[in-house]
């Protein structure tokens, strides 16, 4: 596990067990996750997306509270995952980090509440799987222009981008901030503290 340049985002590299039959990997282990973050993952929804090469999904984020933390893995194909700090007042507000995810190393990325998420599929039929802390609620979900020049996300230059109308017409980071639509650092930190202090949290699960 390593923390990314954006606080509250982590890359997990689980062991992959291989033999003549194939491979076996545990993307999420409660004890390891709790030891790293101080609390387990609250599971509210599990889903996956299937994307053609060049598909851009995001930048997406949710209101805080309740926010939506997520653990993202690539179970087929290959993608470049982006994490964006959208928390007003954060010491790294507007900072971006990226992680390469594929179905070889089976790395995973965790994003805490208040962070923006986006990715681009690098192959056809790329499958991204998500474990989300809360269920998807449309009226609490928002988006930022994935091509906002102020953010300058490192999209690969050698492909045609496939973008939904929702993301294509999304506001820039500056516009969303001026409209008061972004989460605050204080609200996200309060939520993180509450997670750690919940009964039963803060201790690795026993085997």
How far is 188 from 113, CA to CA, in rounded Å? Answer: 6
Please identify which of the residues 60, 61, 110, 117 carries the catalytic annotation.
60
161 is catalytic: no
Please identify which of the residues 27, 42, 130, 161 carries the catalytic annotation.
130
Contacts of 161-164 spanning 24+ positions with Cβ under 8 A: 161/54, 161/55, 161/56, 161/120, 162/51, 162/52, 162/54, 162/55, 162/56, 163/55, 163/56, 164/57
60 is catalytic: yes
Token pair listed for 108: 């995973």
Using CA atoms, how far residue 60 sits from 31, 57, 66, 125, 170, in Å, is: 28, 8, 15, 21, 10
Catalytic residue numbers?
Answer: 60, 130
């Amino acid at each position: 596990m390593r923390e990314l340049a954006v606080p509250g985002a982590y890359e997990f590299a689980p062991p992959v067990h291989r033999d003549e039959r194939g491979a076996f990997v545990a993307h999420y282990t409660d004890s390891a996750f709790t030891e790293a973050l101080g609390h387990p993952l609250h599971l509210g929804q599990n889903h996956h997306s299937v994307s053609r090469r060049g598909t851009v999904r995001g930048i997406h984020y949710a209101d805080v509270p309740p926010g939506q933390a997520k653990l993202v893995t690539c179970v087929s194909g290959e993608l470049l995952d982006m994490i964006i700090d959208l928390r007003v007042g954060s010491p790294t507000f507007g900072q971006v980090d990226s992680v390469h995810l594929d179905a070889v190393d089976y790395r995973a990325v965790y994003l805490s509440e208040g962070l923006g998420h986006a990715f681009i599929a690098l192959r056809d039929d790329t499958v991204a799987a998500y474990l989300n802390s809360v269920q998807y609620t449309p009226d609490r979900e928002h988006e930022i222009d994935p091509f906002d020049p102020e953010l300058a996300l490192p999209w690969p230059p050698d492909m045609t981008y496939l973008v939904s109308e929702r993301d294509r017409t999304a506001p820039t980071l500056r516009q969303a901030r001026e409209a008061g639509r972004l989460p605050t650092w204080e609200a996200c930190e309060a939520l993180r503290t509450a997670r750690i202090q919940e009964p039963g949290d803060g201790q690795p699960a026993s085997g």
